[in-house]
Structures are given as structure tokens and as C-alpha cells.
Structure 1
């Protein structure tokens, strides 16, 4: 058996290679934990704790609110909120009444908002008073009929709830909302709604729980249809992987946004499945993160490499007790070795690299947390997950160690793209999801990603993978962050350009960097152009926006 799946030999005895996943409404995660631990804190938000019973009560009320607004099972409800209690309540409430959640990035500008709301056909949007103006401007061009408005202050403890609007107005924020004509107050709707239990039965394998839009790296973003079964399976797969987690006792640091599928699964769903306390951080602020770790002692901190980089390089990190952190799963971008080693030395916990994509709910691979792991790899497939590397043109499986496109298969793989049958058919074939990532598998069954198929740089006929160069740049003592992209070149077709952010107080010349790279890379891989910058453009989850850098480049 392990000949076909060499990774199984590296499963620790606590992790079963296969598991029976419950088939029910995803909202049952909350209902079951609330029945087991009604008075345990489910959420912590800026000084306020909400018990499982309180979150359950509010979610039932939200489900009844939607029904009163005429929302039917299968209708789409957009949630455009940062990490705050209203987002969690709206999520579970929508699922309870059979609606489909559309997670919407609060940073979206009007154009992106119009595309997503129109494409999904959402009729209701839940948003913040701070974002109300933007939503109202987009609304006329979309099917949205009802706008439910919440505020950060809705769940703040006294006196923060009184001081918050005063501070925001002083900062120039617009908090005025004109209620009426399809615009409602979240708080008032909940107060008036029935708290009677409601949770519709669903065909978990077939019915969509979530429409999650992919970043739109290839143009307009597509809605990924994730079923109740997909998301339940991935919550169990990731929880089983973290087998030392104690039911009802873990504290999850919610620094990555729950509107991103990584945050949704490894923070929200996993925390609720294990009856943990989810510490909601509305936006990534390194000082707030350090204070939170110091006072609330979170045990689990999923994040992106940029978050761990910010933490280990912060001047205050030595004065803060970070030893409560046991498990960190890093996703969304490659994790540099130096970052991993320094973070583990600081916390005494384990920081492992995993891999996933929106189309797979998202996690498919991870390094064993407490077993044999290989630094610089994405680890091995999770239970009930298969993976292989194939020749991108012929589809033939590649020999061990050879680079090809990574394919995955498992209960977490999406149903398809929303209203895009052709794209679904080309992405999923015979149950295998074509990831678009180039990778390889070694003889132990550990996988490595070399790069996105589309990020490949072809310079003078050579295939160059940005990640390899980035690893070399990260090793330089003066460099805090770096990314590499292919830029047009008359002679070579494309050439390698490095975008570099230096550590505070450090200096580095282009010539010095070139010498560093020449000692560590084949000549054709050495960056021909270097741009030193104060920062790199990133998504909310900390992924560097290569595309934005290239767009800036083409304007120059």
C-alpha cells in the first residue's frame, strides 16, 4: 500500500489514514459544541467574551431574520466583514436556514464588489457601517435587495462601545448609515427575531454551503462551490492532523481573516469543531498581536509567513511571553527556513508549512506537526487525500523527484466553479483537481511546490522558478522580505527582477546582492534587476501581490 502512497509511512500512529466524515449541515459544528460546552467562551473580541450559548442564540436569530426577509434555502448571502462576532453569527445563521454564504473581502473596491455580488446573485449583504457608503454605491448594479449593517461597537464591552464612535469620527471615518428602504440594523433585527432552534437538513455532498471567490489571478475571480461535506471533511482532516488538541480548551489566535478560506477552515470551523475559543482580530496589527499573545495565551496561531516574519523581527518580541503557542500552520505562501527556525526557538511551539487552495477547502498537504518533517516542503497529503505530479502537457505521471503539475483528490475537493461548467471540466478530471502549481514528490512522499505554473520565468530558454531565488534572498542577513518576478527583456524574452525590503537599519547595494546570489545560484537565475522598496503590496492574508508589482513595472 505505501508503495503507491509512500507518505503513509510518515503518519504518526495517532493519525488514521482514513476517517468517516459526518454528512450534515455545517452549522451543526456550532450546535454540537454549544450543547457540550454551553458556557465556555466561543469568541473573544476586543475585551468581550461570548459563550457558545450566546453565539448559538444569535445565530438562530439571524437565521429567522433571513427567513423573515424572504430568503429561501439556496439563496446567496454576502458577508462583507472583518473578523468580528457579527461575521460568525451571520455565517452560521445563513447555513442554519439553508442559505449559501458568499464571503466578501471588506477591502474590495466598487468594481470587484459589483462583479462578485452580480456573479453570485446575492440578495442580502451583511456589512459594516464603515463600509456602508461603498456598498450603497455598488448596490444599484447588483441583485442586492437587503443591506444589514453592523458596527464594531455592537460587540465591544463598556466603555469601549461608547468611546469607539467618538474615536472613529475623530479619525475621519464615516459611520453614518441611513436606515430604511432595505437598510437594517443588525442589532435591532436580532433583538426582534425568534431564538427558536433552526437547522435545515441538507444533502451534504451536493448542497453548496459556501461560494468562495478565488483571488482572480487570471482575470475575473471565480466562485468556488464548497459543499457542506467539503468543509466538514477539511475541518476534521485538519483537526485530526493536530491530534494533541484538547476539546474545549484550545485558544485560536484569529489574525488571518475568516473571509479567506484558510481562515474559515483552520480558524473558524476548526475552533468551533473543537469547542475552542476564537480570539478575533479585525485587522493585522503586530503590537495588538503581541499584547494578545501576552495576555490571552493563545495555543494555536495559523498564519501567513509575513505574519511570523513581522513577529520575530519586532523589537518587543523579547519582552513578551510567547510560550503559550503550541501549533502554527503556515499557508498561502512559501515559509522560509530561517523564519521557521527563529519562530520555533522563540515560542517553543511547532511551526509547520502546509499547502492548499480555495478549490480544496483549502488544505490538502501539511508537514507532520509532532513527527518526521522536511523543512522546505509542503509536507504530505492529509488523510483520505491523494496527490500526484504529472507532465503538464501529456498528463503522464512524473518519476519521483521530477517537476510537473500537482494534482490532488479527496473529500475536500470542490464541487466546481459557480456557473462555469467548462472551467470546472478542465480543472477537475476523473476526480483529480489540477492545481496549476508546479511541484515534485520525493521518495518519502513529501511534496514541494516550485511555483505557480503561470509564475514560471522563461529567460533565454531556461525555466526559472521564483521560489528558489526567493529562498536565497531570504538567507541574506540584511533582507526582511523579498519576491521575484519575470519582467520583459528584449534579449532573453524575460529576465529575473527582485523586489527587496531591507531590515530596519540595514544597508545593501545591488552589487553586493548580485555577488551573494552568484555564489548560490546558477548564473541564469541571478536577478538582473533589483528594486529596493519600503514594503511589498500584499493581500489581506499576507500573500505578496506579484501581479501588482508587474503592473507597476509595465507603467514605468
Structure 2
């Protein structure tokens, strides 16, 4: 208790330690189908699926993957927004013994090709409008099969007839794919395949469930190896933390995408394990979300600060009844205190800040939702079975309270390592502690605080953005001599991406031209929002560009504007 002072703060309902058993993730869907067969598992734009329907569809998908020759441990990429297909194919892949590679639907060719090559995925599940992009990268990867679905496939009548026209108006394309050769239609698979019960042969502690990509400032994204135990442990920790939530009685608003480990764990896995209804939205639109909350009455709402800010800033917020919301844990980026207070006033529920990383499945800390006061500016205390400490850069040992160092984590949710990167895996740990790259301190009670990021990663609107990836794209422009990309303060997105550019002599490229160039190679959320042209960039004596100097300049300007 002395080494974990936060345990003294736990309400009696939260145990210090949990039992994780030996049940792999897909077995929880089978349990839910047996325990809650006729309860709604998924609500999607008016369509509802029961737990038994989701399970039978997942079994059909698993059987089809096995027919395609999928072996245990083979990777299956899932490039979908939040929709019933994402849940079905996720669990179907695991039932077949495969490893899921969650893939952002916003990825452009370069990003998609890199992830497919690095993961060695054999199969990808994607949307019809994303098929051309997937087909273009396929020859340069190990992909053997493309499984295609469409939003309309799981819409009720008459929405399923109307949606293709809306989609064409929105995206300007209509894609027709035949169920033939290496192209497969999920609708045909679920119609024609017979579900078969599968005997799972999964090593709970060691077998991978998910290969989740994250990045850093030293190169392209790395595959984080998350085992069944990692993900089950974190979902069970979440259930323990939300101790007032009733099994089989809650509804969870699923806006946080499942290709992000936070949405995957706190919405998809937790809902399946607890018999909760998932209310899924394929993208965040404030008005749609407000209407959905009023009509569907969700009780739990994991989110990111930008989502809560977007709702609070909607001009007709007061028209909507949000009183069904009991609890929200905010992740992905720091949560402003004023947003927390306003959201609680509007909903009458609780909104608390949590903390975690892709490498920790993801949550390690949170403020208490009920029965304890929140601590301003704190990320909270470690979850059950989670040990945390402030690690000295000099000794690698834990520091006493109020001393600043790097946050280190131990616990069953900590990753197995980085995919095919043994050196990076080894460097991520010191004396058994996973080093988060975040600098902070712990107070005497056991509350943790983040004061800075060791890494230069940008968190904009809940997305992790890695400057070097953007820099490498912009450096390909023939007019660019030198540049650096940094995250600067933004009142809505938390941070926004800014590029500082030094042009070659005589060059006259405009901000708009650079922007168009970047959009050809990067997902929209990575494209710089601001470009600043400079004659030179600040550097060290050996020529290293001082990104931090530029960031500090922007922070000073931001603070001055706030004070004014």
C-alpha cells in the first residue's frame, strides 16, 4: 500500500486485483450470445442486431476465412468505420485464429501500402468507396483477398435504397465490385456461408489478437502486439472502474472509431463482455450525435475532448435532451476543465479524464467516476492491477512524490512488444517498466500529472500524428529546401499541425499548392492546417532543427491571446 498510495483512495466497490481467467476475446461473444441471445447488441442508423445474430454472422465470416486458407496467426486488415460489419469481421477474424490489423479508412495509398507491407496482411476488409485505393496498393503487398462491404448492406428499408444516392453525392463515385476471384462481397459471404461452431485453440497469454499501429518521431508507425490477455485485462479493468454500470442493461455510444484502440476496448470489447448495446455512428457529426443521444438514450459515452467540445458548441444544443448519459471517460488528449464542467452541467452525468497509450491496450489511469472528488489537472490514478511510477532518467528507478521524470507502467495490459522490431521493443522497457515517453509526477496521494511529452507526437482531435511522416512527404516537393512540422495549441482540436517551410532560392510555391500536394499523400487529419514560410529555422550548433523553440513561441502567442 505504501508503494501504491492510490489504493487507499479506491472506493470499496473497486477491487485492487482482478481475475482474468483464460478466456480469449472471441469466446466472450459466444458467451454473450448464450446469455443475452435476444438483447440488442448493435444499433446502427435504425438497424438493430441481436447478440445471437452478431455471433452467427461472425461464425460465418470465420468459416469463410478458413475456406480462403487463413491460418492461425495470419493477419486480416479491417479498414472500416464504426458499423456492424466492423464488429462481425473483427470477431470473425479472431474466431478463425487470425490477428486483426485495424486500419484507418482515411489512409491514402502510401500509408495503406506501408501498413499492409509491414503487417504482412493476407486479407483486407474494406468499404466499397475505398476499394479503388485498396486495389491500387494490392500488387505491392502480400494481400491475397479483398472483402468489400457497403454502409447500405446493414441499413433498414428504405434507408438502404436511399443511401447509395447520398454516398454518390457526398463522394462523387459509385463503386461496383463483383463477388469473384480475389474480390469478395461480405453480403454474399454472410448470405451463403453456413455458421459452424469453432473449437478455439488460442494461447490466452501469448497469442496476438490485434496488431495496432502507432508511431513515433523516429520513423513510420510501428505495429503494437496486443495479446488476448492484454485486451481482456483492460476491458475487465474498465468494467471494474464503471462499477455502477449494470450488465446487460447499459447502452454505449460508439463514436470513437474501432480502428483506434480506445474505441476498440471501451466500446466494442467492453460491450460484448458486459452485454451492452452499442449505438454506432460511422463518423462524428455533432447534430447527428445529439439527435442519436436524444432518441437512443445511451448511458455510457467514451469520447475525446474534441467530441465533447463539438457537442457543446452546437448552436442548438439546448434543444436536445442528453440526460440519459451517466458516465463518460475522455481519452486520446488532455481534457480542458471547463469542458468537463460544462458537459456535466448539460447532461447531469459524470465526465472524467483518463490516460493511456496504444502499448497499454490502452488505459492505465483515470479519475474516479463516482464517490470521489476529481483532482484538477490530474490524469487520475492507476487502474486495478496496474502499477505506475515516475522513472528517473539517470537511474531507471522510481522517484519519490513530486519529483519529475518519465511515467512508467507495469500491468497485464502492457503490450508484448513491437512487431518485427526487437530493438525498439527492448528500448521501450527499463527495469521491467514500460516507458511511456510522457514526463510527469505523482503527488503524495497517488494522483498522476502529465507535464510534457518526451516525444514530439502531435495529438489533434484525438488522432496521433507523427511529424516526421508529414515532413518526409513535404520534403518531396521540389520547391522545399528545409522544413519542420510541429503541433501548436488549438482551442478545439487540442493541437493542430503547422509546417514551417524554408523554400529554395527563386521558388515561389504557395500555401495552397503545398496543401494540395500534401493531400495527395496524407490522410486529411495529418495535412498541416497552417504553413509559415521562413528564411531560416532555429538550429543547434550541429544543425539539428529546434522544433521545441517553435512550439514554445506558439504557446506564448496562444497564452497572450487568451489573456487578451
Please state which band the TM-score falls in when normalised by the shorter chain. 0.7 to 0.9
1:408-446: CA deviation from partner (whole Å, max 9, x where unpaired): 000000111111111111112443211111111001100
Cα drift, residue 216 of structure 1: 4.5
Superposed, 1:390-539 pairs within 5 Å as 390-455=391-456, 480=492, 483=495, 488-489=537-538, 494-496=549-551, 514=560, 517=563
Alignment partner, residue 47 of structure 2: 48
| SS state at 1:408 partner | strand
> TM-score, structure 1 length as denominator?
0.84
Cα drift, residue 217 of structure 1: 4.6
Cα drift, residue 456 of structure 1: 10
Contact 2:255/2:284, CA 8 A, preserved across alignment: yes
Between the aligned partners of 2:558 and 2:206, the Cα distance in structure 1 is 57
Distance verdict in 2 for CA 1:485–1:437, change over 3 Å: farther
| SS state at 1:213 partner | strand
1:189-218: CA deviation from partner (whole Å, max 9, x where unpaired): 122212122241211101001100014554
Cα drift, residue 118 of structure 1: 0.9
1:283-333: CA deviation from partner (whole Å, max 9, x where unpaired): 111111000001000011101101111111111111100010011000010
Between the aligned partners of 2:148 and 2:93, the Cα distance in structure 1 is 15
1:339-388: CA deviation from partner (whole Å, max 9, x where unpaired): 00111111110000000000010010011111232121110000000000
Between the aligned partners of 1:365 and 1:86, the Cα distance in structure 2 is 31
Distance verdict in 2 for CA 1:485–1:256, change over 3 Å: closer
Between the aligned partners of 1:289 and 1:482, the Cα distance in structure 2 is 21
Contact 2:396/2:430, CA 8 A, preserved across alignment: no
Alignment partner, residue 464 of structure 1: none
Cα drift, residue 485 of structure 1: 8.9
Give the alignment's Cα RMSD to 1 decimal: 2.3
Cα drift, residue 484 of structure 1: 8.1
For the pair 1:363 / 2:409, whether they are aligned, the reply is: no
Between the aligned partners of 1:440 and 1:456, the Cα distance in structure 2 is 20
- Structure 2 unpaired stretches of 5+: 459-488, 501-536
Alignment partner, residue 144 of structure 2: 145
Contact 1:24/1:201, CA 8 A, preserved across alignment: no
Between the aligned partners of 2:418 and 2:336, the Cα distance in structure 1 is 32
Between the aligned partners of 2:405 and 2:392, the Cα distance in structure 1 is 5
| SS state at 2:219 partner | coil
> TM-score, structure 2 length as denominator?
0.83
Between the aligned partners of 1:154 and 1:192, the Cα distance in structure 2 is 15
Between the aligned partners of 1:189 and 1:107, the Cα distance in structure 2 is 25
Contact 1:96/1:200, CA 8 A, preserved across alignment: yes
Count of residues in Structure 1 that have an aligned counterpart in Structure 2: 490
Distance verdict in 2 for CA 1:288–1:217, change over 3 Å: farther
Distance verdict in 2 for CA 1:395–1:36, change over 3 Å: same
| SS state at 2:25 partner | coil
Alignment partner, residue 160 of structure 1: 159
Cα drift, residue 481 of structure 1: 5.5
Between the aligned partners of 1:235 and 1:392, the Cα distance in structure 2 is 31
Cα drift, residue 499 of structure 1: 6.4
Distance verdict in 2 for CA 1:267–1:498, change over 3 Å: farther
Superposed, 1:304-315 pairs within 5 Å as 304-315=304-315
Contact 1:25/1:96, CA 8 A, preserved across alignment: no
Between 1:356-365 and 1:372-381, the stretch displaced more is 372-381
Alignment partner, residue 210 of structure 1: 210
Superposed, 1:42-81 pairs within 5 Å as 42-81=41-80
Alignment partner, residue 337 of structure 1: 337
| SS state at 1:231 partner | helix
Contact 1:165/1:175, CA 8 A, preserved across alignment: no
Distance verdict in 2 for CA 1:490–1:78, change over 3 Å: closer
Contact 1:210/1:225, CA 8 A, preserved across alignment: yes
